[in-house]
Amino acid sequence: MQPGKPAHQKNLDSLTDSGLVELAREGHAGAFRMIMQRHNRRLYRVARGILRDESEAEDAVQEAYVRAFTHLAGFRGDAKLSTWLTRIVMNEAMGRLRRQRPTVELTVLDAIHEQRGAEIIQFPLSGTGAEDPERAAARCEIRHLLERAVDDLPEAYRVVFVMRALEEMSVAETASYLNMKAETVKTRLHRARCLLRARLDAELASTLTEAFPFAGTRCARIADAVLARLGLQAPPRSE
């Protein structure tokens, strides 16, 4: 727990979701806030994965919370609170999506993927140690590229990908949230990765000539080191 938190906040931190629900049913504002703090990221990511719009996702999460909190009497605890909230936000987000545009039939997507073979994407992003500005900028661009690629996934695959790859939910947990078979979750995740692989291949092909840059900070650092080893004074760097 973080230092400096009020005593009542620390007490709420120690409660289970069931305990928070009991307090919330009594109108305890702090319990409502704690529930949201615990589940905000997951619900936002699920809504964002469906709607592909930050503002719409926030609105959907807010609406889902209002709906959930006004119907707490209907939460019997048969499922986890996170499962119940996730289903509510998914219904809200899907409803908004249907109002925005028609959806593509999943059978059409499946047929396309039966005709196309693709490898599962392997795209490591983790880094170790401090990064120079160039590497940090490159990683930022890669992140944006991946976010755009995920946004372009068909919704049926995108939601599974967000849950499994971003939120790192288990297959069983994802299947429970989406009310589908575990095998279906595995299949959709595989196809989402196939689509991402194809998209990234296309996006990166035009920029391969820019790969492995050696300029800026790294270039200057090497040049300075070589000159120092040669006993030469490095000239002033141009701004």
Question: Token pair for residue 236?
Answer: 């002033």
**Range from 86-90, 183-187, 201-205 that averages highest in pLDDT:** 183-187
Q: How confident is the model at residue 37 (pLDDT cuts 50, 70, 90)?
A: very high
Question: Token pair for residue 54?
Answer: 């930050």
Q: What pLDDT is attached to residue 125?
A: 41
| Alpha carbon distance 156, 159 (integer Å) | 6
* Higher per-residue pLDDT: 139 or 198: 198
Q: What pLDDT is attached to residue 185?
A: 93
Domain annotation for the chain: domains and CATH numbers:
7-100 (1.10.1740.10), 106-228 (1.10.10.10)
What is the average per-residue pLDDT within 40-60?
87
225-236 tens-digit pLDDT: 766 776 666 566
| Alpha carbon distance 172, 136 (integer Å) | 36
What is the average per-residue pLDDT within 147-174?
86
User: Is it the case that residue 142 has pLDDT exceeding 90?
Assistant: no
* Higher per-residue pLDDT: 7 or 59: 59
| Alpha carbon distance 92, 71 (integer Å) | 15
Are 155 and 74 in contact by the 8 Å Cβ rule? The answer is no
Question: Token pair for residue 136?
Answer: 């940090």
166-201 tens-digit pLDDT: 888 889 988 988 888 999 999 999 999 888 888 877
Q: What pLDDT is attached to residue 189?
A: 92
133-151 helix and 182-205 helix, angle to the nearest 10 degrees:
130
pTM tops 0.75, yes or no: no
Percent of the chain with pLDDT over 70: 65
User: Is it the case that residue 145 has pLDDT exceeding 80?
Assistant: no
Question: Token pair for residue 120?
Answer: 């599962």
Average predicted confidence (pLDDT) for the chain: 75
**Which of 206, 90, 211, 202 lies closest to 148, judged by CA?**
202
Q: How confident is the model at residue 36 (pLDDT cuts 50, 70, 90)?
A: very high
The 3-state secondary structure of the chain, one letter per residue = CCCCCCHHHHHHHCCCHHHHHHHHHCCCHHHHHHHHHHHHHHHHHHHHHHHCCHHHHHHHHHHHHHHHHCCHHHCCCCCCHHHHHHHHHHHHHHHHHHHHCCCCCHHHHHHHHHHCCCCCCCCCCCCCCCCCHHHHHHHHHHHHHHHHHHHCCCHHHHHHHHHHHHCCCCHHHHHHHHCCCHHHHHHHHHHHHHHHHHHHHHHHHCCHHHCCCCCHHHHHHHHHHHHHHCCCCCCCCCC
User: Is it the case that residue 8 has pLDDT exceeding 80?
Assistant: no
29-51 helix and 17-25 helix, angle to the nearest 10 degrees:
110
Q: What pLDDT is attached to residue 184?
A: 94
